[in-house]
Amino acid sequence: MSSPTVGLFVTCLIDLFRPSAGFAAIALLEDAGCQVEVPEIQTCCGQPAYNSGDRKDAILVARGLIDAFAPFDYVVVPSGSCAGMIRHHYPGLFAQMPELARQAQALADKTHELVSFLVDVLGVKQVPVAFKGKLAYHDSCSALREMGIHDQPRQLLSSMDGAELVALENPETCCGFGGTFCVKYPEISGRMVDDKARDIEASGADTLVGPDLGCLLNMAGKLRRRGAAVEVRHVAEVLAGKTDKTPPIAADPKRS
């Protein structure tokens, strides 16, 4: 493939909380031979409105993304949830508007989650990165169930020199984030993430990675509240070998 053009959809949470994961995604895509651009007129995929029942605002926000990403061969998203929103829910959102529905379908067809794009579309089999330690991978629900992502990240993570992948007991159980769910029903969400944190702590992993920042913020926040020493990072940061500059999510910076 002669260097495809990729529009990176950074996602609102990475923009706000974890720019490192966005830059790591760019590095991974460029290393794999893509021409990456990050259109500045992107904001959010509209999922907060969509899942709250606010279809009107979801449509208005989604329209912005359709325009922003029209020019690219591919749209790549370092999030299974936002990629799933575009891939599986955009076409239905515009069902009553034929021209926009066509554009939404075209966008849906070329939108991929980052790691599955690297493996399934670009054929990346390994990353030339060394990683010392035990890694656990959390399957975020949308990545797993909407986007069918399971083996791809595990393949790349275990290709890292020195990395040992350990399994969570329930890697496919929801962490309790669920977008606005986690603040609308904090007690239920809190119980779910507490169960998840216990699973992570029991796995013996010293680093937890995942494909979705929302879930990672939730788990990192709970692990920290519980006083657990597990480091949490977006999967892109680890695969790009960019773990030296930025402290893990929710971790205090190391004092030099």
Partner 1 sequence: MPEIKSPAFQANVNQAMGDAQLQQALAKLKGGFQVNRVTAAGKLPEFETLRDQATGIKEHTLAHLDFYLEAFEEKTRAAGGQVHWACTAADARRIILELCRQGGAGKVIKGKSMITEEIGLNDFLIHNGLEVVETDLGEYIIQLRNEPPSHIIAPAIHVSKEQVADDFREAHEALDPQRPLAEPRQLLDEARHILREHFLSADVGITGANFLVAETGSVVIVTNEGNGDLTQTLSKMHVVVASLEKVVPTLEDSATLLRLLARSATGQELSVYTTYATGPKREQDPDGPGSFHVVLLNGGRTDLLGGPLNDVLRCIRCGACMNSCPVYGAIGGHAYGWVYPGPIGAVLTPALIGMEKSHHLPHASSFCGKCEEVCPVRIPLPKMMRHLREKSYEKGALPRTFLAGMGFWAFLARRPRLYRTAANFLARALAWAAMGRGALKHVPFAAGWTSERDLPAPEGRSFFAQYRKQKKGEKP
Please identify which residue in 145, 150, 154, 198 interacts with partner 1, judged by CB under 8 A.
145
Give the count of residues interacting with partner 1 (CB under 8 A). Answer: 71
**208 close to 230: Cβ distance less than 8 angstroms:** yes
d(CA 144, CA 170): 13
Phi and psi dihedrals of 164, rounded to 5? -120, 120
Please identify which residue in 35, 51, 155, 159 interacts with partner 1, judged by CB under 8 A.
51
| Residue 220 engages partner 1 in binding (rule: CB under 8 A) | yes
Options 114-122, 123-131, 148-156, 182-190: segment touching partner 1 (CB under 8 A): 182-190
| Residue 71 engages partner 1 in binding (rule: CB under 8 A) | no
Q: How far is the CB of 91 from partner 1 (least distance, A)?
A: 14
Quickly tell me which residue has 């990475």 as its tokens.
14
Please identify which residue in 24, 29, 34, 44 interacts with partner 1, judged by CB under 8 A.
44
Please identify which residue in 35, 43, 155, 159 interacts with partner 1, judged by CB under 8 A.
43
| Residue 229 engages partner 1 in binding (rule: CB under 8 A) | no
In 3-state terms, what secondary structure has residue 140?
coil
- 16-46 residues labelled b (16+ CB within 10 A) or e (exposed): ebbebbbbbbbbbbebbebebebbeebebbb
The conformation of residue 209, written as its DSSP 8-state character, comes to E
Looking at beta carbons only, is 166 or 185 nearer to partner 1? 185
d(CA 79, CA 116): 10
* CB count in 10 Å sphere of residue 10: 24
**24 close to 93: Cβ distance less than 8 angstroms:** no
Please identify which residue in 28, 29, 34, 49 interacts with partner 1, judged by CB under 8 A.
49
| Residue 190 engages partner 1 in binding (rule: CB under 8 A) | yes
| Residue 177 engages partner 1 in binding (rule: CB under 8 A) | yes
Footprint on residues 91-120 left by partner 1 (CB under 8 A): none
Please identify which residue in 151, 191, 202, 204 interacts with partner 1, judged by CB under 8 A.
191
